[in-house]
Every structure is written in structure tokens, then in C-alpha cells.
Structure 1
Amino acid sequence: MGKKKEEKELQELFDAFGADPEVLREWDLAVEKIKQVRGVLRLKTQAGYRALKKVNLSEARVRFVQEAIDHLAGRGFPNVPRFIRTKYGDPYVVHPSGIYYLTDWVPGKEADLKKAKNVFLAAETLAKLHNAGAGFAGGRFGQETREDFSASWGTYLAKLSSYDASLEERREQTAMDESYRSHRLELTQMIEHATEQLANTPYPQILEWAREHKTLCHGSFSRQNLIVEKERMTVIDFDHCHYGHPVHDLGALLTRYMPRYQWDTTIGFSILDVYRGVREVSAEEMTVLAAYLSFPQRTLEVVEAYFERTRDWDGGRFANRFRKQLALDEGREMFVQDLIARYGLNLSAPSFAPHLEGLESYDELDGMESSSVETREDGWEAQHVVEKSEQVSVEVEEEAPEVSLVSHEDEYDDHANEEESSSGTKLRYTVPRVKQRKPQKPGPWRPNR
């Protein structure tokens, strides 16, 4: 009776997950306990905890992901769960209900990126991933490329025009409608400026370099996919990985999490310095990054969510979020201005975001993402207290110098923020001391690797 009840509960859970428990036979798994955590099933087996995931992707795509992970692990990036092969030696199972793959369960919590030390650790981890991802010779099962973000930028002006038309047809106007109308010009100016600046960068050349060197991007480097335990960060969910240039991942990381710090220059430059301490960034790449950060991505996501009804919010909440994002755009543009000045980039600094006052502190940044830090905690182990966000002090130069990024060998000194690691070694997040140089226009693009 007890066994039948367990089998019934197992079947019900798999049904709710849209999966079939018979796939467990492919690994000869005797499951003692099972729980759905996000998009995977956490299995407790005699061999330890495992994560079973079902994906509705093509077999070529899954094979690409599996080979990319194997490549990273083979190139010295161990912080990634590899596919566990079936008893027949297959890396995944193709089933009528979908494709399944099994990995070890990664212990820990989703990275709390409200803590600057975790953002620095994420930057360091991302740089290591990019270093290990170079030279990936997979893809014979399908070229997986999503690399030119300029293509998506061009669609936003057309979208805004369609939103304008929909407003003309409405009899009743919401608070969001009024806010959108008031700041429609600034949106256009920010989009056009970023697009123009990107066109003045060597973006096509760095994309060509990335294609030739087959560099990998994670594609979804967000806190949900960064698991931290005792100062060790593991990257999970490579289902969106693709060939691309590392500046895409780096730009997305800054765009996603710098608003938490009001685009504070000290934090932002420290993130870049941690990344550059592991993977060198050329002046040309930094120019592309500055153009990338000139684009009002987060603000446009709010507008898009409102007009396309992808969020179940009322007009007042949308208007509040929209205005707060616009206020953050002012800080973002100031950060880009400082970035251009510090590195002597040949770009025109953006200055189009409106100056908005009287807004409450922006404490709803998680609202446009799918979870909170605590969501992954499933109660099977002892609960840990989540520490409050701490103030981080980083020593920097009083004046932001302009430098060439051709070489960084002489730029570092002993000033650093240090965090003890579980092994007793110290993770050093060094803020560079740089030699002051005259601004230089980027020369012909050349990879500095």
C-alpha cells in the first residue's frame, strides 16, 4: 500500500511537471525523495542529489549545450554541472514528452547580487567562463548564434510607433499613458543616440573575431543561474548559451544589476576591474561596451510589458516603475560619460534622460525578474539567515584617468577589498591604479589576448 502510494505521488508530481517518470530507468535511478525546484526536479538518490531537467528544445540544441559544458570543464572551468550519461552512455534521453538530461544537484543559494561582493564574484566567474569558452569547436549539430544586439535595437522604434497608434485609439488614458507621452521624446533620443554610437564602433570587427575564435556566451548570466556556497560560485542553466562576443554577457550583467547600486561609478568600475583582472578587455571592446550601455534597455522593457500586457499591473504601478527606470537612466548615462572619459573612448557621451525628482527609493528591482534570492531554498537542509545588504567601500583614484587598454601589466597595486574564501585563501578584488595618459582614439582593431 505504501509503495503504491509513493508511486502515485511520484506520477502526480511528474504529471504536474509535464514529464514521464519512466525516463528514470535510463539512469537506473532509485529515487528516495523528489521535489520540484524551479524548472528542474531535485532527486534524492542513494548516489546523492541529482537534478533532472526536461527541455522542449531540438536535439541539435541540447547537444550543443552538452558539448559547450564539456568544453568549459575541459578548459579548466569546473564551476558547471556536467550532463550525467545514461547507463547506455547517452548524454540525454529523447522521449515523446521531451528531451531530458541529468546533472548533479548544485548545493547553495542563488547569488544575492544586492551584495557587492557577490557582484564582484560574478564578474570574476564570468571572465573565467569567457576565457574557458574560447575555441569551442562544437556546433556541428547546429550553429547556435545570437550575437548582434544592434538588430534588436532597430525594432524598438517601430514598436514605439505602434504603441503611439494604440494610444490614439484609447478613450480612457491611464497614468502610464500620460507618463509615456511625457517622455516619448527622450526615449527616441536615447535609442537613436545609442544606435548611432554603436555604428561608430568596431562592432562588426569584434563580431567577426568572435566568429573566427568561436567564443561562447552564457546568454542568461543572472542571479537565478548563479549558485553560491562558501564563496564558490557555480553557473547553471546553459540552455541559452551560444556563440557570441563576451561583451554581450558583460554588458547584460551591468545593465541588469548596476541599477541596484544607482549606477554608482565606484561599484561599476570595480566590476570592470575585477573582470579585466581575469580577462583582458581591449579598447575596442570597451568602446562597444559603452555604446551598449547607452541603450535604455530596462526602461524599454517596462514600456513593452505595459503595451503588450505581459505584466498584470495597473496603470499606476506601470507609471511608477517607468518613472523610476527613467530616473535610473540618468545615472546610467552619467556612468557612460565617466566610462568614456576614464578610458578615452572615441564616443559622444549620452545626456538625454530626464531629471526626475520626488521619487521614492527604487526597491522593486526584482519585479521584472522571475524570482528572489530565497526562492531556491527548499528546506531540505538547515536554513541559513540571509545577510542584509552591506555597504562596500572601494578605494579609487580621486580623478578618473584616461588610459589605453592595450596592456594592464603595470596598473595594479596592493589596494584591494578582500573576502575570505572557504579554503582560507583570499579573493582579491583590485581597483587599478593607472598611469595618466592623454586620450587616444582607438586604432585599427586587433584582439589583445
Structure 2
Amino acid sequence: MNDRAVELLEQYEIEVLRTRKGRGAIVCDTNRGCLIFREYSGSQERIELQNRLLKQIMDAGTVKVEVIIPSREGTLFVRDNEGTKYVLKTWREGRECSIQDKEECMEAVRLLARLHGCMELPADCLNLPVAFSPEKEYDKHNRELKRVRKYLQQKGQKTWFEISLRGAFDPFLEQALSVTEEWGQYQREATQGGKSGDTAKIAFCHGDYQYHNIIQDGRGWFLVNFEKCMCDNPVRDLCLLMRKLLEKNNWSISLGEELLETYEKERPLSAGSRIDLYYRLAYPEKFWKIANFYYNSGKAWIPRKNQEKLEKVIAQEKEKQHFLDQVFREVGRLR
């Protein structure tokens, strides 16, 4: 961040004692405690929604989260001379949640369940965003996968990574298409059958719930970076957290069951949400990320890390399918 951005802090009703760089932002010691000042790329509508949800979560008092500090003029962000937007938020200096510590992972799941209990807004609220459509997102992913496969088919001399990627492509693409079709069919049937859930309230999720955004200091846990909050089934967050933990633990059935049990002790999942979670986990998201990153980046030199990620996804596929069959064996009946 440009040091000149520090001058923008004069637009806030705070006394800045000291500033330092951290996490791509400016950390500020002030008379109002530790704050963080960073660039903001979203819209006015998005930050207003974010602010509303954060206030609601704070009022509930079950989870500690960041708070957006308004400027003297009452705006939620300020601009520099070039039009770049910046937002000032409360901050705690601590460490990220350790994905190596099982109890911390379980606490992250408990926090998530409590968070979701505070992230519903009345359906008649003005200016609510359009609900996220997983089917549209995965349709887009599938088109991208087909584009990458076509590119690999037409490419002449291939690197070892490209040979490995092409060799694994067809089964993963078939899986992606199958999951998308099944999930879309279920959603249409659920809508026609009136199973879409409580329409009096609209659920929101954090949008990027991973260990980087779960901070612990001497006062406990603190959740940050709600910029990607969106109108979607809260299992979106649970899926992201579970996938990251399970990939690092070779899709352990016992770990997956314990994560789900821990979440449901705080916030039971409906049959529809369990089905939703199953399809989100079943989609080959990691393979899509690897293929899409490859296609959209320079191909003159492919990092060894990409090959390692691909090999891990291929090696874990059998364990992942076994995990889904065992942990979500009731999904067929629920449908």
C-alpha cells in the first residue's frame, strides 16, 4: 500500500499513534485501539451490506468480528486523489488458526456455526443482492474445463505437467458435468416441490471462511475479511473449510464426521443443506483450480508445485469418493 494513503487517516475521528505495514495494509495503533487500513475494491452497496451484517453479528454477541470505522463524514470508505478506495476496520494482532491443531479446527467450525446463526436478514429488506447460483458457477467452471481440454488436445509438444493433466482430464470433466447436472435437477425439483426453505429470512455466508481469516489473540478468536460475504447457503463456508482440512488429511472419514457433528451441535443442518454440502464437496473444485490456473498463466515455465498439486488431487480421488459414499450415504434417500 502507498504510504501516502496514511494521510487519508486524517479523515477519521481518531488519533494515530503509530503505523506499520502488515498483511498488505497499514496497521494503526490509535486512541481507539488497533485498527487496520486497507484498499477496498467493492461497491457502495456491498460495503453497506457488509456493515449491516457485521453490526448484526456484533449485536448478537456470540462471535467477535471486525467492525468498519466510518469517516468523519459518515462514509464507510474514503478515496485518494486517484479514486482508490480505502476502508478502516478494527483489528487484533494475533496468529491464524492452526490447521495442524485438531481442537483449533473444531473451534473454527463451532465459531462458523455461531456466525451463521447471526447472518440472516429479513427477506423484505431493501436492496438485497441476488442470491448466488451454484449451478451457474459450475456451468461456468465446466465451460472453462472444456476450453482447457481442447487447448491440451490441440497442443503439440507437451511438458510432463501437461501430459499428466491431459491424462487425468476426462474422468474429472465427466465428474464435473455429472455433479452439475444432478445438483441442478435436485434444485429444480426442490423448488417445484416447495422445499426451498424459509423464505421469511435470507441466509448469508462469510464467503472466504478459511484459517487466514480466523485470528486468535490473548482475548480469544476474532473473524475478519467479510468482503466476500454473499447471499448463499451457509454450507458454502462449511464446504470451503472442510475441503481444505480434508485435503490435508487424505479425506479422513472420522475427521469429516467429527467436523459435521461439531457444526451440527451448534446449528443442525436441514436435509436440503446436507444435500447441498454433498454436491459442493463432490464437485472436482481442486482439479478445476489447477486446470484454470494453468490455462490463464504463462506456460513457458510451469512451477513444480503445480505438478505436486495435480499428483495429490489424482492420488486422493479414490479416498475422496469413499469419503463421500460413507459420510453422505443418506443423500440418495434424502433426495
How do residues 29-428 of structure 1 correspond to structure 2 at under 5 angstroms? 29-96=14-81, 97-135=83-121, 140=126, 142-145=127-130, 147-202=132-187, 205=191, 208-209=196-197, 212-230=200-218, 232-309=220-297, 314=302, 316-341=304-329, 344-346=330-332
- Higher-Rg member (1/2): 1
The answer as to whether partners of 1:42 and 1:52 remain within 8 angstroms in 2 is yes
The answer as to whether partners of 1:79 and 1:235 remain within 8 angstroms in 2 is yes
**TM-score for the superposition, normalised by structure 1:** 0.67
Instruction: State percent identity of aligned pairs.
Output: 18
- Aligned residue among 6, 12, 32 for 1:27: 12
The answer as to whether partners of 2:96 and 2:213 remain within 8 angstroms in 1 is yes
* Structure 1 residues 87 and 229: alpha-carbon distance in aligned structure 2, compared to 1, 3 A threshold: same
- CA deviation string 1:217-260 (max 9, x = no partner): 10010111110235832110111111111121111221222111
Q: Secondary structure at the match of 1:20?
A: helix
* Structure 1 residues 21 and 315: alpha-carbon distance in aligned structure 2, compared to 1, 3 A threshold: closer
Distance, in Å, in 2 between the alignment partners of 1:99 and 1:73 is 25
Would you identify which runs of 4 or more consecutive aligned residues in structure 1 move more than 6 Å? none
The answer as to whether partners of 1:71 and 1:136 remain within 8 angstroms in 2 is no
Cα displacement (A) at 1:325: 1.1
Q: 1:9 maps to what in 2?
A: none
Q: Which runs of 5+ in 1 are unaligned?
A: 1-13, 347-440, 444-449
Q: Which runs of 5+ in 2 are unaligned?
A: none
Q: Secondary structure at the match of 2:239?
A: helix
RMSD: 2.7
- CA deviation string 1:1-51 (max 9, x = no partner): xxxxxxxxxxxxx625xx533321222433332112113210122443211
Q: Number of paired residues? A: 331
Q: Secondary structure at the match of 1:258?
A: helix
* Structure 1 residues 50 and 260: alpha-carbon distance in aligned structure 2, compared to 1, 3 A threshold: same
Task: Compare 280-289 and 29-38 and name the one that shifted more.
Answer: 29-38
- CA deviation string 1:308-336 (max 9, x = no partner): 21799626543332121122222221110
**TM-score for the superposition, normalised by structure 2:** 0.88
Distance, in Å, in 1 between the alignment partners of 2:197 and 2:107 is 27
Cα displacement (A) at 1:301: 0.7
Q: Secondary structure at the match of 2:208?
A: coil
The answer as to whether partners of 1:157 and 1:188 remain within 8 angstroms in 2 is yes
The answer as to whether partners of 1:163 and 1:307 remain within 8 angstroms in 2 is yes
Q: Secondary structure at the match of 1:201?
A: helix
Distance, in Å, in 2 between the alignment partners of 1:201 and 1:243 is 20
Distance, in Å, in 2 between the alignment partners of 1:239 and 1:117 is 27
* Structure 1 residues 160 and 28: alpha-carbon distance in aligned structure 2, compared to 1, 3 A threshold: closer
